[in-house]
Each structure stands twice: as structure tokens, then as C-alpha cells.
Amino acid sequence: MADPLLSVRNLSIDIPVGGGTLHAVRGIDFDLQRGEVLSIVGESGSGKSLTSLAVMGLLGKQIDRRADRMDFDGVDLTRASRRKMRSLRGARMSMIFQEPMTSLNPAYTIGDQLTEALLLHRNVSREAARDRAVELLEKVGITSAASRLGQYPHQLSGGLRQRVMIAMALMCGPELIIADEPTTALDVTIQAQILRLLVDLVREMDMAMILITHDLGVVARVADKVAVMYAGELVETGTAGAIFNAPTHPYTRGLLRCIPLPGKTERGSTLGTIPGIVPSLIGDISGCAFRTRCEHAVDACRGDIPRREEDGHMFRCVHPQGRRTEEEAPA
């Protein structure tokens, strides 16, 4: 297999908070090939957005990011200068945020904001940038694109703004696009439309995408690979097929029981819930973070958790099959 476009090893993110350190992301690894869609799934606060901001180099100054390496097409992002990061951001990797209502600058026109990245990174004329903007606006399904360039963000609906955000991310033809819950803030009726559009464009332009979401239904439809995140750790990663057909980690299985999936959920059956709450990540954390909510928890869950991997399907659990077998029954 070719070298991955993005390869992250042992990424940790610490946030200083009043009276301690919040270990928001702890030692995660993942790879992304060109043209691949990786979906990171997890509850709010599991660290998925922080992970994407870490890749972009957009974490706040007070947040501590550490990684053995974070290679983007041979460039180690952990060692890249601010200048180097700036030349990558918006040009070769770009991001679509969750909040289309507030992610556009209210003081500038759509045209100004669309062309900004292209004018910053490529040596093109204003006219060429404008043409590119119109082309992309049409591509994301915005009608009378040319006249939209002079409009301000407040004149557009949420769905239109998110289309603009997508067009904006595509301006320089990036190799990697990170979409952080791109449809959550939108009306349910247009969520599917926008997502479909995004995925089609990614496939058409042969880009790699990290799609961050808590919606497994979305993942099932679009992802090549899935990474399941819980309380700052990746508990299970694998191909979409493996995750949906043979979920192994108790958390992944719990998640899948919570959503109706076509062809998987039996008619008339009850959807599941996961009892308990996400633990506090302040202070030292050892063992499996899911143990307080896990029906298979044993004493060994407080110790080191083995990383089990087979055919690219990885999960972290003390139980070899991700569940307690007869001989492991509690004393």
C-alpha cells in the first residue's frame, strides 16, 4: 500500500483547567490514505474535534499537543514551523466547521471570503479567483452564483452558508478536508443533501476526508474507515464493514444498539441505551475509561489495556473478543 497521506502516532492533547489538567486526548493513532473517507465517531467531549484541530494546528496557545509524529504527505506537522503550517492550511488541507451561522465573517462579502484563501496561497488574479469562486458555488448547488458573491453572510440561510463553507474549503483544491460535524447545525431536511454533496465532491476530486460526527447513521452511508473515540481514546478502528458487521469493543456495540440501521435492527425491537456518564478526564487516568459503564467490566480493566489488532481491525479491551467469556466471570 502507498504511504498514507496523513499518519498520526500517539497524539495526546492536554488542557490546563482550574485545579488540574484535562487529558482530553490520550495517545491516539490513525492513518488516512489518499481518496479515503475516515469517520471519527464519539459522544460530545470525546476529543474528536480537538483531534481535528490538532491536525490543522489550530489549537489555542494554552493547549498542549504532543505526538510521536503527525505526517502529512511526508511533512511532520509536529515539527513544522508556523509559517509552514500556514502554507498548508487552506491550501493543501482545509476544514469545514460545525457552525455555518457563525463561521463566516459578518463584515465581508461571500466573494471576499471565498477568494481569500486562493489569493493568499496561489498567485492568481482577482478575476481568476472570482471565476473559481463562481465555479465552486455552482458546484455546491448554489443558483445565480455570480450574484451571491456580493452578498453578506447574514443574507443567506444556514444551508446556503454551509454550502459556501464547503466551496470555501475546496477553493485551493486541497488533498485533505476535515469536516467537523458539518451538518449538525442544519435542519434535518437538508442534512442529508449537504452530506451527500460533500461526499460526492470528495470522491470526484479524489480528496481524503476526515468526517467527524456523532451520527452513526451518517457514518454507515459514507465512510471507508471508522474510528470510534471514547473519553479521549480510540477504542476501536477498522473498515466501515468491519465496524458495522463485527463491532467488538463493548462501547462500539453499545453505540450500534442505540441507532436503527437498515437491515440490522429488527423490526419491533427496542433501541438500546448506554447507562452511566462519561468520566471526568481531569487528573491521572489509568485503565479503560469505559469500565464504569461497561457490562463486562472486571478488575483487570483498571490496569493496562492491551491493543488487539487483526487485518487492520483494532480494538482495546482486556477481553479478547471484547466481551466476558464464561471462564472470566467475576468472583
Partner 1 sequence: MTDMTDPLLQEITGPTPGQLLRKRVFGHQGLLIGAIVVAILAIIALLAPLLAPHDPYAQSLMDRMQPPVFLGGTWEHPLGTDHLGRDYLSRLIYGARVSLMIGVIAAVISGVIGTAMGVAAGYFGGKVDAVVTFLINVRLAMPVVLVALAVVAILGGSLTVVIVVLGLLLWDRFAVVMRASTLQVRRREYVAAAQAIGASTPRILLTEIMPNIVNNLIVVVTLEMAHAILLEAALSFLGLGVQPPTPSWGLMVSEGKNMMLFEPWLVLIPGAVLFLLVLAINLMGDGLRDVTAPENRN
Partner 2 sequence: MLQFILKRLGLAILVAFTVSFISFSLLFLSGDPAAALAGETASGEDIEALRKLYGFDRPMLVQYGDWLFSALQGDFGESYYFKLPVASLIAERLSVTMLLGVCGISFALLTAVPLGVAAAIRPNSLIDRVALFLSVAGQAMPSFWFGLILIVVFAIQLGWLPPSGASTWRHFVMPTIVLGYYAMPAIMRLTRAGMLEVLNSDYIRTARAKGAPEMRVMFKHALRNAIIPVVSLAAVQMGFMLGGSIVVESIFALHGAGFLAWESIGRNDLPTVQALILIFSMFYIVFTFLADVLNAWLDPRMRSS
Q: Does residue 285 bind partner 1 (CB under 8 A)?
A: yes
Considering the complex, state which of residue 159 and residue 250 has its C-beta at the smaller distance from partner 1: 250
- Number of Cβ within a 10 Å radius of residue 173: 15
Indicate which of partner 2, partner 1, none lies near residue 104 (CB less than 5 to 8 Å, by partner kind). partner 2
Which span sits near partner 1 by CB under 8 A: 187-195, 208-216, 254-262, 274-282?
A: 274-282
Which of 4, 27, 158, 279 binds partner 1 (CB under 8 A)? It is: 279
Considering the complex, state which of residue 85 and residue 282 has its C-beta at the smaller distance from partner 2: 85
Applying the rule CB under 8 A, the residues between 193 and 222 that interact with partner 1 are: none
CB of 211 to partner 2, least distance (A): 16
Nearest alpha-carbon partner for 76 in 15, 122, 9? 9
Indicate which of partner 2, partner 1, none lies near residue 107 (CB less than 5 to 8 Å, by partner kind). partner 2
CB of 272 to partner 1, least distance (A): 15
Indicate which of partner 2, partner 1, none lies near residue 10 (CB less than 5 to 8 Å, by partner kind). none
Instruction: Report the DSSP beta bridge partners of residue 310.
Output: 313
Nearest alpha-carbon partner for 256 in 222, 246, 314, 232? 246
Note the helical H segments in the chain.
48-56, 82-88, 110-121, 126-139, 145-148, 158-170, 188-204, 216-222, 240-245, 250-257
Binding site for partner 2 (CB under 8 A): 56, 58, 85-91, 94-95, 97, 99, 102-109, 113, 116-117, 120-121, 152, 154-155, 165, 168
Distance CA 117, CA 94 (A): 10
CB of 301 to partner 2, least distance (A): 37
The size of the interface with partner 1 (CB under 8 A), counted in residues, is 16
Which residue in the block uniquely carries the three cell numbers 444498539? 257
Which of 10, 302, 307, 312 binds partner 1 (CB under 8 A)? It is: 302
Considering the complex, state which of residue 58 and residue 300 has its C-beta at the smaller distance from partner 2: 58
Considering the complex, state which of residue 146 and residue 258 has its C-beta at the smaller distance from partner 1: 258
Contacts of 123-126 with CB under 8 Å at 24 or more apart are none
Torsion angle, alpha carbons of 68, 318, 37, 176, to 10: -10
Angle at 35 between CA 72 and CA 78, to 5 degrees: 10
CB of 96 to partner 2, least distance (A): 9
The amino acid that residue 162 corresponds to is: Q
Q: In sequence order, which residues have a C-beta less than 8 Å from that of residue 305 and are 6 or more positions away?
A: 287, 288, 316, 317, 318
Q: Are 20 and 282 in contact (CB under 8 A)?
A: yes
CB of 17 to partner 1, least distance (A): 11
Give me the residues that bind partner 1 (CB under 8 A), please. Answer: 275-276, 279-280, 282-283, 285, 287, 289, 291-295, 297, 302
